Amino acid sequence: MVSSDFSIEEQEEEEEDYFDYSYDVAGTEPGSITIDPLALPSRLTLIEYDENNAYRRVNTQPKDCVSCLTNNLISWANIEGLGTENILREVEQVFQLHPLILEDVVSVPQRPKIEDYPDQLLIILHSIKPNKNEIGFTTEQISFILGKNYLLTFQEDEIEDFTRIIDRIRLNQGKVRQLGADYLAYLLLDTLIDNYFPVLEDYGERIEDLEDQIVLNPSKKTLQEIYNIRRELLALRRSIWPLRNLFNELTREDNNLITKEVYVYFRDCYYHTIQILDILETYRELASSLMDVLISSMSNKMNEVITLLTIISSIFIPLTFIAGLYGMNFEYMPELKWRWGYFGTLFLMLLIAGGMTFYFWRRGWFKLFLQK
Amino acid sequence: MVSSDFSIEEQEEEEEDYFDYSYDVAGTEPGSITIDPLALPSRLTLIEYDENNAYRRVNTQPKDCVSCLTNNLISWANIEGLGTENILREVEQVFQLHPLILEDVVSVPQRPKIEDYPDQLLIILHSIKPNKNEIGFTTEQISFILGKNYLLTFQEDEIEDFTRIIDRIRLNQGKVRQLGADYLAYLLLDTLIDNYFPVLEDYGERIEDLEDQIVLNPSKKTLQEIYNIRRELLALRRSIWPLRNLFNELTREDNNLITKEVYVYFRDCYYHTIQILDILETYRELASSLMDVLISSMSNKMNEVITLLTIISSIFIPLTFIAGLYGMNFEYMPELKWRWGYFGTLFLMLLIAGGMTFYFWRRGWFKLFLQK
Amino acid sequence: MVSSDFSIEEQEEEEEDYFDYSYDVAGTEPGSITIDPLALPSRLTLIEYDENNAYRRVNTQPKDCVSCLTNNLISWANIEGLGTENILREVEQVFQLHPLILEDVVSVPQRPKIEDYPDQLLIILHSIKPNKNEIGFTTEQISFILGKNYLLTFQEDEIEDFTRIIDRIRLNQGKVRQLGADYLAYLLLDTLIDNYFPVLEDYGERIEDLEDQIVLNPSKKTLQEIYNIRRELLALRRSIWPLRNLFNELTREDNNLITKEVYVYFRDCYYHTIQILDILETYRELASSLMDVLISSMSNKMNEVITLLTIISSIFIPLTFIAGLYGMNFEYMPELKWRWGYFGTLFLMLLIAGGMTFYFWRRGWFKLFLQK
Amino acid sequence: MVSSDFSIEEQEEEEEDYFDYSYDVAGTEPGSITIDPLALPSRLTLIEYDENNAYRRVNTQPKDCVSCLTNNLISWANIEGLGTENILREVEQVFQLHPLILEDVVSVPQRPKIEDYPDQLLIILHSIKPNKNEIGFTTEQISFILGKNYLLTFQEDEIEDFTRIIDRIRLNQGKVRQLGADYLAYLLLDTLIDNYFPVLEDYGERIEDLEDQIVLNPSKKTLQEIYNIRRELLALRRSIWPLRNLFNELTREDNNLITKEVYVYFRDCYYHTIQILDILETYRELASSLMDVLISSMSNKMNEVITLLTIISSIFIPLTFIAGLYGMNFEYMPELKWRWGYFGTLFLMLLIAGGMTFYFWRRGWFKLFLQK
Amino acid sequence: MVSSDFSIEEQEEEEEDYFDYSYDVAGTEPGSITIDPLALPSRLTLIEYDENNAYRRVNTQPKDCVSCLTNNLISWANIEGLGTENILREVEQVFQLHPLILEDVVSVPQRPKIEDYPDQLLIILHSIKPNKNEIGFTTEQISFILGKNYLLTFQEDEIEDFTRIIDRIRLNQGKVRQLGADYLAYLLLDTLIDNYFPVLEDYGERIEDLEDQIVLNPSKKTLQEIYNIRRELLALRRSIWPLRNLFNELTREDNNLITKEVYVYFRDCYYHTIQILDILETYRELASSLMDVLISSMSNKMNEVITLLTIISSIFIPLTFIAGLYGMNFEYMPELKWRWGYFGTLFLMLLIAGGMTFYFWRRGWFKLFLQK
C-alpha cells in the first residue's frame, strides 16, 4: 500500500490499514520482500556534497552509488517509491544491507524503530500529513540507513518538505555542508517530527468545539465525534510513541556514526518528540474527560425531561381522577345535587394543584427549566 | 487436553480451559508427569542435515537420536503428540533433560517462558490458529529445547506451517542449511509468531463492525459481542505478553547457544512480538472505548424514548383533565349550558396543546426525532 | 486467631480479619509476643534423615533439637499450633532465632515475606484451603526458617498435604533424601503454592456463571456476587502477590543456604507464582468488565421497560383524550347527534393507533421485545 | 496550626489544612522560619543514658545540651511545641543544624522525608491519632535529627506513646540502654507507625457497614460516606506513602549513623509500612468498587420503580380507554343498548388485564418485587 | 505571544494557546528564531556583585557584559522582554550560546527542561501567577543560563518577586553575596516554585465548594466546573511535572557548575516540586471522584423524581379506571342503581389507595422524600 489515509468519510475501509502492521505470511523466508502492486515505481536521486561542491543526479542508477562508500563526499541516496524490485535489490547490494533491512523498508507500515547493524544505523519512522479539505491525517513510512559517509533514505512517496533541505544543500545555507551525513539525517528527521505539531493542533480545535457542544446540546453526533477523536489520537500515539525511546537511546548510547557535535541536535529531536507526546496525552485525557461529561450531560437532560413529566403527571392525574369521580353515573351521588358541588370541586382541584406546585417549587424542581 | 478451542458457541465448556494453566495436585513429586488420556500418540520425526546433505526419518525411535549429540550434523527431533509416556521418557533420557523440563512440556498449557538449563535452552510458547468457520481461535503449546547442535520440539498436534520449513531444509532453500540449530529454532519461532497477525486482523474487523452497530442500534447482542471481544483479547494477550520479555532477554543476554549472526534474527522476532502487542493494546483500548460509547448510546436512546413519552403525556394529560372536567355530572355546571361552551373548550385545548408544542420545540426536544 | 475463614454467609465477621494484618500495640518492646488465647497448643515434631536413615519423633521437646545444629542429618522441626509460649520460646533459644523472627511467626497474619538473617533465611507465606461446602477460602500463615542443615516450620494448624511429603521422606521416594534442607523447603513451598490453583479454578467457574446471568437476567444478587468475587480476588491477590518478588529475589540473589542444584526448583516455584498471578489478574479484569456489562445490561433492561411504557402511553393517551372529549356533557355538541359520529370517532382512533404503531415499528422500537 | 484535625462535621474548615503543605511566601530568604502564633510554647526535655545510668531533665535550656555532642552518653533532646523561636534557634546553634533543617521542622506540615546532611540524618514523618468520639483522624509532624550519639526530636504536641519508651529507658527494660541513638530512633519511629493500624481498622469497619447499606438501601448519605472514605484514605495515603521509599533507602544505603545491628529493626519498620500501604490500597480499591456497586444499585432501584410504573400503566391505561369509550355521549352507540354490553366489556377488560399480566410474568418483571 | 492567560470567560481563545507548545515550521534551519510581533521590547539589566560590592546597570547594552566572563564578580544579566532580535543576538554572541539555546529561549512556551551544554547549564521553566479577579492562572516562560561566574535570565515579562532578591543583593541580606551564581539561580528558581502553592490552594477551595454543591444540588454548572477544574489541573500538571525529573537529575548528577554547598538548596527545590505534584495529584483524584459522585447524585435525583411519578401514577391510575368504569353509559349496569353503589365504590377506592400507600411505605419509597 502506498499511503494510509485516515478520514471519517471512508473510515471503514481505511481504519484496518491504519491500525495493522504489515506482516509476512507465516513460514516465508526471512529477508524475502513482497512488492505492493500499487506502490509507486522507485526513483533514485543521488546528492553528493562537501564544503565546496554539491552535485545532484536525478533518476540515476544504483550502480552510480558505488563510489559513495569510498569517496570523501557526503552522499545522500534518496529512493522515492517502493515499487521497482530490481532497483531496491541493487541498492541493497551496493550498500551491503543486511537482508532484514530491505524487508523492513518494503513491508510498510512497520512500527517505528532504530536498529544498530554493524557500520549502519537503521531508523524507521512515519511522516505525517493532514488530509486536504478533510478531517484526519495520512502517514507514510520513511526509512533511514545512516552509514559512515552516506545516508540512504526510502520513501513511499515524495515528501515536499525535503526540497527545502535539498535547496539548503545546493545554496550552502546553514551548517549542512560543514557537517556530516549524521547532521543531514537530523535535518530530515527534524522536518518529519515538526510536521506532527500542526496535525495535533487540529485535534485541539476539535476538542474545543466539542467542549461547547457537549454541555449545551449533546447528541449522537457528539458521541461519534468523541469516539473518532479518541480513535485517531490512539492511532497518532502509536505512530509517535516508539520514537520517544528511540531518540532517548540514540542520545544516550555510544554510537560511532553520530558525532559529538551532532548529538545535541538529536537530543533536540528527542525533546520535540516528548513535547508532541505531552500534548497527545493531554488531548487523550481531555477526550476521556469529555466522555464522562457527555454521560453526565445526558443524564442531566434526562432528569430535566423526566422532571417535567412528573410535574405534569403529578398535578393532573389526581385532578383527572376527581373529575372522573364525578363523571360516574351512580343514581345516588348526593354531591351532584349540591348547589356548590361543582365550584367546591373546582376549588378542591385548585388547592391540590397549588399544593403540588408549591411542593415542587420548594424541592427546586422548577429550577431545571430556568437553567438554560 | 489436546488443544484449547475458543469459540462463542461452546464458550461455557471451553472458557475454563482457556484461562487456566495446567497444574499438579499439591504434594506430587516434582518432575512427575501425567499423560492426558485424550492426547495424541507421540510420533518422533528426526531430521538431520549439514550444508551438503539432509536426512529425514519419520516415526523413528528415541534411541536413534543418540548420535545427534555427538555427530556434526544439525539435528531436529520433532515429537508430535504428547500421549505416549515411554517415548517421552526415552527422549528425556537420550537428551539428558532436567526432570522439570518434561513436566513443563507435558503439562499443557503452560505460561510461555524461556529457561536456561546448563547446555540447554527451554522455550515454551503457544501456536495459534483461527477457528474454521467460526469466531475465536485455538492455541497449542510448543516446546523447544535448543542444544549445542540439536533442536528438540514437542507439539500437541501437527503444525502445518512447519512443513514449509522442512521443505526448505530438504531443498536447501535460503540460509537454513548454512546456519546452526539456533537459526532453525528462529525459523520455527518466527512462523509461530507470524500466525498471530491474521488472528488479530479478525478482531480489527469485528471491532469495526461494532463501531457501526453501536451508535445506530445498540442491543443486547452488541453488549455481548463487546464483552466477548474483550475476553478473547485478554486471552490472546496472556498468550503473547510473556514472549515480549522472553525475546528481549534472549537478545540482550549472553547466551552461548545462540550465535552472534543469528541474534539479529531473534531481535526481529522481538520486534514482531512488540508489533503484535501494540495492535493488541490498541484493540483493547478501542474495545474499552466502545463500552463507554455503548453506555452513552443507550442513554441517548432512553432520552429519546422518554422525551416522546413526556411530550405526548404533557400535551394530552391536561387536555384529558379538561375533558374529564366537563364530563362531570353536577347539576349546577353553568358552562355546560353556554352556547359556545363546547367550542370555547375546544379552543382552550388547542391553545394549551399549541403552547406545549411551542415550548418543546423551543427547547429542541423535537430534534431528537429528526436525528436519524 | 487460628485461621481466617472467608465465606459469604458470615462475611461480616470474617472480612475484617481477612483484610487486616496483625500488629502490635504502639510502644511495645520489639520482639515481644502475644499468644492468641484461641491458638492451638504447640506440638513439636522432629524428623531427621540422611540418605540411609530417617527418624521421626512426634510430640517431642525443643531441647531434643539441640543436636540438629551439629549432627550431619537433615533435620525438620515442625511446630503445629502457636498457642504454647514456653515451647515457642525454647525453640527460639535452641535455634538462636533473632527476636524479631518469633514476633513475626506468632503475630498472624503477616504479609508474606522473605528475610535474610545471618545464617538463617525466614520465609513467611500463606497456605490456602477452599471452604468445605461453601464459597470462599481459608488462609493460614506458615513460617519457614531455613538453616544450614535444618528447616524449622511453624504452622497455625496441621496441613494435610505435608503428610505426603513426610511419607516420601519415610519411604525414600524421589530425591528428597539425597538433597538438603533447602530441597525439603522447596517441596513444602511447592505444595503450598499448588494449593492456590484449585481455589482459583472455582472463581473461574463463578465468573462463568455470572457471564450467563448478567445479560439474560441481571439482578441485585448478580451485583452482590460480582462485588464479592472482586473482594475475594483482591484478598487472594494480597496473599499471593508478595511471593512473586520474594521468589524472584531468592532465585537471583546469591544465597549460601540454597545450593545451585536446588535453585532451579525454586525458580519453578517462581514460575508457578507468576502463573497464579496471571490467572488472578485475568479474573480481576473479567470481573471488572462484568461490572461494565452489568451496568449496560441494566440500562438495556430499563430501555426495554420504558419503551413499552412509552408505546402503550403514546397510543392510548390520545385515544383516551378523544373518548373523554365526547364524554363531555355540553348541551351544544353537534357531533353527538351525527349519525356516524360514533363510528367516525372509532375510525379516527384506529387511524391514530395505527399511525403510532407504524411510527414505532419504523423506529425499531418493537425489536426490543423480540430480542429474547 | 498545631494539629490538623480531620472529621466529617467540620470538614469544610479542616480539609484545606489537611491537603495542603506548608509553604513560604515566594521570595523569602531560605532558612527563615515563621512561628505559627497558635503553636504551643516549646519545652525541651533532655534524657541522657548509658548502660548503667539514665538522667532526665525536664524543661531544660538548649545550652544544657552542649555536652551531648562530646560526652559518651546517648542523649535524646525532645522539643515539644514549636512556638518559642529563641529556644528553637538556640537548639539549632547547639546542634549546628543546617539552616534548611529548622525551616522544615517548623513549617508544618511537610511531606514526610529523609535527608542526609553531613553527620546528621533528618527524618520527618507524621504521627496519627483517631479523633475522639468522631470519625476521622488527626496528624502531627514529628522531626528526628539523628547524630552520632544523640537524637533530637521536634513534636508539634506531646505524643503519649513516647512516655512508654521513656519508662523503658528509665527502668532499663529491653535493649534500649544497650544500644545507641539509632535504636532509640527506631523505637520512636516504630511507635508512630504502629499507630496507623488502628486508624486503618476503623476504615475497614466503615467500608463493611457501607457494603450492607449499599445493596439494600442506597441513599444520598451512602454516596457522601463513600466519597468521604475515599477522600480520607487519599489523605492517609499521602501521609504514609513517602515513608515506603524512605525506609527502603534507609535499609539499603550505606549510612554510618545506623549500626548494622539496628538495620534489621529499621527493615522491620519498612515491612510495617508496606503492610499499612497494602491495607490502604485494598481499602481504596474496595471503596472504588463500592462506587460502581452504588451506581449499579441505584440503576437497579430505578429499574424496579419504573417497572412497577410500566406494569400498572400498561394494564390500566387500555382499560381506562375502553371505559372512556363507552362513557361517550354519542346518540347512536348501539353497544350501549345491548343486554350484555356492560358485562361483555367487563370480560374484555379482564382478558386484557390478564393477558398483560401473563406477558409481564413471562418476561420475569414481577420477580423484581419478590427480590427483597 | 507574551503570556498565556487562562480563564473561564475567554477560555475558547486561550485554551489552544495553553495546551500547545511553540514549534517551528517544518524544514526551517535549526537555530533560527522568530520574534513574536506582540513580544515586549528586550531590556537588559546587569547586576554584578561580590562579597563587598554590588553594581546594577539598568537598560544596558549586551557588549557591557563582555567583562562578566572574565572578571571575578558574580554577574546576573537579566533580559526582560523577548521582542528585540538584535539585543538577543548580541547577548548570544557575548555569552557564546549554542544556537539551539536562543531558539528555545525565544520560542515560548517550551516544555520545562534542563540541558547540559559545555560550560553552560540551560534551565527552562514556567513562572505562574493567579489571574486578577478571575479564576485561572497565567504562565510565562523563564530561561536560565548558568555559567561559571554568571547567570543569564530571559523573561517574557517582568516578574515582581525578583525585585525582592535584587534588594537582598543590594542590601547584602542573607547569604546571596557570599555564594556564587549557582546560589543566585537557586534563589530565583525557589521563588518561581513557591508561586505554585497559592495557585494550587485556590483549586483546593474550588473543589471544596463543589463537594457541597454536588450532593445537594447537582446541575449543568457543577458539571462544567468539574470539567474546568480537571482541565486546568491538567494544564498545571504539564507545567510542573517535568521539573520533578529535572531537579532530581540536577541533584544527583555530577555537575561542575553547582558547588556542593548549593546542592542541598537545589535538593530543597526538588522537595518543593514533589510537594506541589503531590497536592496536584490529590486534587486530580478528588476531581475525578467528584465526577463519579456527580453521576451518582444525578442518578439519585432521577430516582427521586421517578419514584414520585410512580407513586402518584400507581395510586391514581387504578382509581381513575374505576371512576371511568362507572362513567360508562351502558343501559344495563346494575351497580348504578344500587343504594350504596357510590359509597361502596368510594370505599373500594380508599382500600386500593391505602393498600398501595402501605406497599410503598413498606418498600421504603417514601424515605426518599424525607431525605433532605
The 10s digit of each residue's pLDDT in B64-79 is: 888 888 888 999 999 9
Element (H, E) at A45: strand A43-49
Q: pLDDT above 70 covers what percent of chain A?
A: 92
Residue ranges of alpha helices (H) inside chain A are: 11-19, 85-94, 99-106, 162-171, 181-194, 196-216, 220-252, 260-325, 334-337, 341-362
**Interface contact flag, A302 B297, Cβ < 8 Å:** no
The complex's ipTM works out to 0.84
Would an 8 Å CB–CB cutoff place E293 in contact with chain D? yes
Tell which of E214, E249, E309 to mutate to test the A interface (max A CBs under 10 Å).
Answer: E309
Lowest-pLDDT choice from A10-14, C28-32, E330-334: A10-14
Chain centroid to Cα D43, Å, comes to 29
Residues of chain C neighbouring B309 (CB-CB closer than 8 A): 306, 309-310, 313-314
Same structural domain for residues D170 and D317?
no
| DSSP state letter for D4 | B
Say what the pLDDT of residue C6 is: 42
Q: E306, A302: Cβ pair inside 8 Å?
A: no
Q: Which of E112, E142, E177 corresponds to the end of one domain? A: E177
Residue B354 has pLDDT above 50, yes or no: yes
Name the pLDDT band for B258 (thresholds 50, 70, 90). Answer: confident
Give the closest-approach CA distance of B323 to chain A in angstroms.
9
Reported as a single tens digit per residue, the pLDDT across B273-283 is 999 999 999 99
Q: Does E173 touch chain D (CB under 8 A)?
A: yes
Q: Which chains border B (3 or more CB–CB pairs < 8 Å)?
A: A, C
Is pLDDT at E261 greater than 50 in this prediction? yes
Residue E150 is assigned to a structural domain of this protein:
yes
Indicate the number of domains in chain C: 2
Write out pLDDT tens, residues D263-307. Answer: 888 888 899 999 999 999 999 999 999 988 888 888 888 888 888
Tell me which chain A residue has its CA closest to the CA of residue E307: A310
Say if D219 falls within a structural domain: no
E336/D89 Cα distance (integer angstroms): 101
Mean per-residue pLDDT, E191-210: 90
Residues 16-45 on B with a CB inside 8 Å of C are 16, 19-21, 23-27, 29-31
CB proximity under 8 Å: E 109-128 to A: 110-111, 113, 115, 117
- Using CB atoms, which residue from D294, D305, D342 is nearest to E332? D342
Smallest Cα distance from E341 to chain D, Å: 16
- Asked whether the beta carbons of residue A306 and residue E305 sit closer than 8 angstroms, the reply is yes
CATH number at residue B12: 3.30.460.20
Considering only CB atoms, A325 lies closest to which of E227, E298, E323, namely E323
pLDDT score recorded for residue C369: 66
pLDDT at A165 over 80: yes
Percent of chain E with pLDDT over 70: 92
Please tell me which chains touch C, using 3 or more CB pairs under 8 Å as the contact test. B, D
What is the number of other CB atoms lying within 10 angstroms of the CB of residue C93? Answer: 12
**pTM for the full model?**
0.87
Is the per-residue pLDDT at D164 higher than 90? no
CB-CB under 8 Å, C323 with D332: no
| Cβ proximity of B229 and B291 under 8 Å | no
CATH of the domain at C357: 1.20.58.340
Q: Give the percent of chain B with pLDDT over 70.
A: 92
Q: Is A100 on the interface with B (CB under 8 A)?
A: yes
Lowest mean pLDDT among A191-195, B325-329, D215-219, E49-53: D215-219
In a domain, D189, yes or no: no
With contacts defined as CB-CB under 8 Å, which chain A residues touch E230?
289
User: Between C318, C329, C368, which is nearest B316 by CB?
Assistant: C318
- E residues 262..281 contacting D (CB < 8 A): 264-265, 267-268, 271-272, 274-275, 278-279
In order, the DSSP letters of E23-86 are -PPTTPPTT-----TTSPPPEEEEEEE-SS-EEEEEEE-GGGGGGGGTSSSEEEEEEE-S--HH
For residues E243 and E221, the answer to whether their CB atoms sit within 8 Å is no
D17/D165 same-domain check: yes
CA distance, residue B23 to nearest chain A CA (Å): 31
- Respond yes or no on whether the N-terminal peptide bond of residue D118 is cis (omega within 30° of 0): no
Contacts with A, B 323-342, CB within 8 Å: 324-325, 327-333
Say if residue B7 is in the same domain as residue B150: yes
**pLDDT at residue number B10:** 40
Cβ of B314 within 8 Å of Cβ of A319? The answer is no
Assess D370–E contact: CB distance below 8 Å, yes or no. Answer: no
D317 contacts C313? CB cut-off 8 A: yes
Q: Dig out the grid coordinates for D317 from the structure.
A: 391505561
State residue C3 phi and psi, 5-degree precision.
Answer: -150, 150
Contact E264 D26 (CB under 8 A): no
In a domain, E256, yes or no: no
CB distance D197–C372 less than 8 Å? no
Contacts of C339 in chain D (CB under 8 A): 332
pLDDT digits (tens, 9 = 90+) for B36-51: 888 899 999 999 998 8
Residue that is last in its domain, among A136, A161, A176: A176
User: What's the mean per-residue pLDDT of chain A?
Assistant: 85
A242 inside domain: no
How much is the average pLDDT of C93-110?
90
| Partner residues linked to C145 by β-bridges | C122, C152
Torsion angle of the four alpha carbons C240, C243, C245, C248, in this order, in degrees rounded to the nearest 10: -130
The pLDDT value given to residue B41: 92
How far, in Å, CA of C218 to CA of C292, rounded? 12
The DSSP secondary structure of E92-159, one letter per residue, reads: HHHTT--HHHHHHHHSPSPPPEEEEETTEEEEEEEEEEEPTTSSSEEEEEEEEEE-SSEEEEEESS--
Please say which residue of C118, C153, C173 terminates a domain. Answer: C173
Q: Which of A278, A320, A363 sits opposite E238 (nearest CB)?
A: A278
Those residues whose C-beta lies under 8 Å from the C-beta of residue A162, and which sit 6 or more positions away, are A78, A188, A191, E27
Same domain for A12 and A156?
Answer: yes
- Whether C331 shows a pLDDT value over 50: the answer reads yes
Question: Considering the domain boundaries, does residue E19 fall inside one?
Answer: yes
Q: Are residues E305 and E172 in the same domain?
A: no
- Out of E234, E291, E306, the one facing A292 most closely (by C-beta) is E291
Check CB contact under 8 Å for E217 and A295: no
CA distance E107 to E36: 8
Q: By the CB < 8 Å criterion, does D89 face chain E?
A: no
E223 reaches A (C-beta below 8 A) = yes
Domain containing B140: what range? 1-177
* Segment B267-303, tens digit of pLDDT: 888 999 999 999 999 999 999 999 888 988 888 888 8
Query: What are the cell numbers at C34?
Result: 502475644
- Give chain B positions within 8 Å (CB) of A327: 324, 327-329
| Residue for grid cell 503439562 | B107
A51-97, pLDDT tens digit by residue? 888 999 988 899 888 888 888 899 999 999 998 999 999 999 999 99
* Spatial separation of the C-alpha atoms in residues E218 and A304, rounded to whole Å: 12
Which is higher by pLDDT, A88 or A5?
A88
> What is the distance in angstroms between the Cα of D63 and the nearest Cα belonging to chain E?
25
Nine cell digits for residue E171: 542590601
Looking at residue C368, what is its pLDDT?
67
- Whether E286 is in a domain gets the answer no
Burial of C304 (0-12, 13-18, 19+ CB in 10 A): buried
To the nearest whole angstrom, how far is the Cα of C359 from the nearest Cα of chain B? 11
- How far off is chain B from A82, nearest CA to CA, in Å? 21
* Cα–Cα distance measured from residue C249 to residue C243, given in angstroms and rounded to the nearest whole number: 10
Among D34-38, D364-368, E186-190, the least confident range:
D364-368
C12 touches chain D (CB under 8 A): yes
Q: Which pLDDT value is given to residue A368?
A: 67
Q: Let me know if residue E238 belongs to a domain.
A: no
